[in-house]
Amino acid sequence: DAKTTQPNSMESNEEEPVHLPCNHSTISGTDYIHWYRQLPSQGPEYVIHGLTSNVNNRMASLAIAEDRKSSTLILHRATLRDAAVYYCIRMYNNNDMRFGAGTRLTVKP
């Protein structure tokens, strides 16, 4: 039970922004939102996390809705190396890191 809902797949053009949505309508006040991505034949890697406020790092931005029931991972300029499966995870008290099926992002040249 991943407790989040994501589209199965999305496509993007290279060098364009990508907005990956995640629904977590049953989120509680202490749940953090984490994003990981998994490149082919590799283990998942951390992308970004947040609680209430929007967050930015060198890889991406995370926009969290005011009611916290949804969030969006933003890749500002997609590259071919960003093609991966992106997982949105709801973590209670920073434990219980359970993955869903994720969104498979395809980046077209």
- Please give the Cα distance from 42 to 81 (Å, whole number): 13
Interaction of residue 7 with another protein, rule CB under 8 A: no
* From 9-17, 20-28, 64-72, 99-107, span contacting another protein (CB under 8 A): 99-107
* From 8-16, 37-45, 60-68, 74-82, span contacting another protein (CB under 8 A): 37-45
Find the shortest distance in angstroms from Cβ 41 to another protein. 9
Residue 78's contacts (CB-CB under 8 Å, 6 or more residues apart) are 12, 13, 14, 15, 16, 17, 18, 105, 107
Interaction of residue 101 with another protein, rule CB under 8 A: yes
Residues 55-94 that bind another protein (CB under 8 A): 85, 87, 91, 94
For residue 81, which phi and psi values (nearest 5 degrees)?
-75, -10
Q: For the beta carbon of residue 45, count every other beta carbon within 10 angstroms.
A: 11
Structure tokens belonging to residue 75: 């890749």
Counting every residue, how long is the chain? 109
Binding another protein (rule: CB under 8 A), the pick from 2, 59, 63, 74 is 2
Interaction of residue 29 with another protein, rule CB under 8 A: no
Residues lying near another protein in the complex (CB under 8 A) are found at 2, 32, 34, 36, 42-46, 49, 85, 87, 91, 94-102
